[in-house]
Amino acid sequence: MSKLAIEGGKPVRKRPFPTVDDRSGRTLGKEEARAASEVIMSGHLFVYGGTKVDKFEKEFAKRMGVSHGIASTSGTAAIHVALGALGVSPGDEVITSPITDMGTIIPIIFQGAVPIFADVFEESLNVDPSDVKRKITDKTAAIVPVHLFGLPADMGPILDAAEERGIPVVEDCCQAYLAEYGGKLTGSIGKMGTFSLQQSKHMTTGDGGMTITNDDELAERAALFADKGWDRSKGREYVMLGINYRMTEVHAAIGLEQLKKLRFAVESRRKSATRLTRQIEGIKGLVPPRPPKGVKHSYWQYPLIVDDELGISPKRFSEALVAEGVPASYSYIGEPMYLKTPLREKKTFAKNKHPFDCPAYGRPISYAPGLCPTAEAVLKKLIVIPWNEKYTKEDVDDIAEAIQKVAAHSHQL
């Protein structure tokens, strides 16, 4: 193979790849433009009195195989709606993954609960059910497994551990549209499922969220929570504490069109990701995604683990891929969420450290290196390649060629 681009050689790829930051990597088009325009020209953008949000909630729920959908303003809001509906309160604990976005953690803290982190499996990067079980206490109010990068967490033993103690499971599916575990779609497996409609996700309204459930009572409470606790059937009556997470008619109109294209977006990502895996899976020292039997990955992004056997640091490997024209990034979030400033230093609110100093909790909690050793170690080995539904065979083959090229020269770096 030719000289590495990072050392002055010719890069594998000079043209930019399709990206989710614009239409080049998205299914967005005239259908969404027309739907949004119709709402704008109607002059009615507010959910109440409109039809789009209600229809989007129903159609989304139907597509995910559940009874109810509650639309909101973001994936973070969708998780908050779920925890609010479940009654998670100050003094509670919520178990989740240390490898996620802060959007998973914020709702826990704003409900006054304390995030508890379970370690992960190295290969899947998802929470280890045995550690989830170990972390359950008398204060555990919910478990929020994250289906990272589109690969479902091992839900069977997680549900077993939760049901044994009567603990609800809220799936964070923000990266996992139409992923499957044991023949079930993610989001339909636990008590509630949550989704993000942010720009980079499999379907998008720019930003937005959806909470789904089969539980009639939880659905009612979730809808109330997302609308300031306002029971509009009773006039100006607020029946519970909630927050304003209402979706607009414009967002819902776009969402309805995106929902029609979701199957294509996911299947396209699966097909292209499988093509890449087949081309690189024989390279020693690289671990591509390997969905276990009975699991379907939806490839929000393409994670790649670089082991010591390759003879190059993961960071340097990533830099070499970028030089070859592949937009790879090193480590995803850098360090587990519990080592980020708001948790490590307990910098939450301006005048106190709530919920960590809450009398209702009354326990010491420390977030420090060593809490989840596998998560800490694997993040130092992780490279993430952005993925989307518009990748062609040529795009995938260029990525594969760049990976093969850098791996073949790894001893020189």
**Residue 1: predicted pLDDT:** 58
DSSP 315-374: HHHHHHHHHTT---EESTTSS-GGGSHHHHS---SSS--TTTT-TTT-S-----TTSSHH
The pLDDT tens digits of the residues spanning 25-71 come to 999 999 999 999 999 999 999 999 999 999 999 999 999 999 999 99
Evaluate whether 321 touches 86 at the Cβ level (below 8 Å). no
- Look-up: residue for tokens 């309805």? 256
Q: What residue ranges do the domains of the chain occupy? A: 30-259
Evaluate whether 53 touches 197 at the Cβ level (below 8 Å). no
| Contacts with 8 (C-beta within 8 Å, 6 or more apart), sequence order | none
Evaluate whether 182 touches 153 at the Cβ level (below 8 Å). no
Q: Give the separation between CA 115 and CA 342, rounded to whole angstroms.
A: 12
Q: Give the separation between CA 371 and CA 347, rounded to whole angstroms.
A: 19
Evaluate whether 248 touches 47 at the Cβ level (below 8 Å). yes
Peptide bond between residue 115 and the one before it cis (omega within 30 degrees of 0): no
Evaluate whether 107 touches 76 at the Cβ level (below 8 Å). yes
Q: Give the separation between CA 135 and CA 341, rounded to whole angstroms.
A: 22
User: Could you tell me which of 141, 39, 163, 46 has the C-alpha nearest to residue 90?
Assistant: 141
CA 17 to chain centre: 22
Q: Give the separation between CA 130 and CA 142, rounded to whole angstroms.
A: 16
Per-residue model confidence as pLDDT tens for the chain (413 residues): 589 999 999 999 999 999 999 999 999 999 999 999 999 999 999 999 999 999 999 999 999 999 999 999 999 999 999 999 999 999 999 999 999 999 999 999 999 999 999 999 999 999 999 999 999 999 999 999 999 999 999 999 999 999 999 999 999 999 999 999 999 999 999 999 999 999 999 999 999 999 999 999 999 999 999 999 999 999 999 999 999 999 999 999 999 999 999 999 999 999 999 999 999 999 999 999 999 999 999 999 999 999 988 989 999 999 999 999 999 999 999 999 999 999 999 999 999 999 999 999 999 999 999 999 999 999 999 999 999 999 999 999 999 999 999 999 987 77
Query: Across the beta sheet with 295-296, what order do the strands follow?
Result: 184-185, 180-181, 295-296
- Look-up: residue for tokens 């518009």? 390
The pLDDT tens digits of the residues spanning 328-351 come to 999 999 999 999 999 999 999 999
Q: Specify whether domain 30-259 bears CATH 3.40.50.150.
A: no
